Amino acid sequence: MVKTQIEARGIADKKLLEAFRNVERHKFVLPEYIPYAYNDSPLPIEEEQTISQPYIVAFMTDALNLGKTDKVLEIGTGSGYQAAILAELSDSVYTIEIFENLGNKARKLFSELGYKNIWCKVGDGFQGWPEHAPFDAIIVTCAPTKIPEPLQEQLAEGGRMIIPVGSSPVQHLVLLKKRKGKIREERVLPVRFVPMIDTSGKKY
């Protein structure tokens, strides 16, 4: 998977490629999808959510240019695969999931796999996690129609955020960088993600 689906498509960071070798994707998918775990495609998980295709996980992570001392916020834990990749590359990962079932399941899996630098929370990702802000990097794996202001506020000076923005069927990944208190935005890739929702199920 790493060589043919990620490295072959231009991802060259050796530490990132090693993280993908270390994190076994089949442990993060439903049992019936294990035979397809290493295909370069999204797969269904519970609560009508998905685990993103490996290349998109790699592309978004690569865009953040993570360092070992970075503190990362993830919005949309899902199965936990993206958070595990982030944990291989950074100091600490704070991940928020709107669905209690998914959040609890991911927390249990992180413990079983021995991750001690991932903290999970069940809640509304639009609001971020202000108690632990600022964050050096923020990654969002569900699509709001606009970039949440709280997440922009929680981005550290020099920080980066990657987020899909827009309505179905196609959104755009937007890369944000904060420099001297100002945020610069760049559209980088058309994508498809599940919508960001609040605790009542309403789309943001």
Contact 116, 107 (CB under 8 A): no
CA angle 55, 62, 68 (to 5 degrees): 130
Contact 60, 89 (CB under 8 A): no
**Does the residue 14 lie in any domain?**
yes
| Helices vs. strands in the chain: H and E counts, helices first | 5, 9
Q: Which residue from 113, 115, 184, 200 is spatially nearest to 147, judged by alpha carbons? A: 184
Could you read off the pLDDT of 47-94 as tens digits, one per residue? 999 999 999 999 999 999 999 999 999 999 999 999 999 999 999 999
Q: Which residue from 98, 101, 96 is spatially nearest to 199, judged by alpha carbons? A: 98
**Does the residue 203 lie in any domain?**
no
**Does the residue 173 lie in any domain?**
yes
**Does the residue 182 lie in any domain?**
yes
Catalytic residue among 52, 79, 90, 92: 52
**Does the residue 187 lie in any domain?**
yes
Could you read off the pLDDT of 108-128 as tens digits, one per residue? 999 999 999 999 999 999 999
What is the domain count for the chain? Answer: 1
What's the rounded Cα separation, in Å, for the pair 173 and 187?
A: 6
Q: Is the pLDDT of residue 168 over 80?
A: no
**Does the residue 99 lie in any domain?**
yes
- Token digits for 72? 């990362």
**Does the residue 51 lie in any domain?**
yes
pLDDT mean over 1-13: 89
Active site includes 200? no
Say which CATH number the domain at 141 has.
3.40.50.150
Domain enclosing residue 116, as ranges: 2-191
Strand locations in the chain, DSSP E?
43-44, 50-51, 71-75, 92-97, 118-122, 135-140, 155-165, 171-179, 182-191
**Does the residue 117 lie in any domain?**
yes
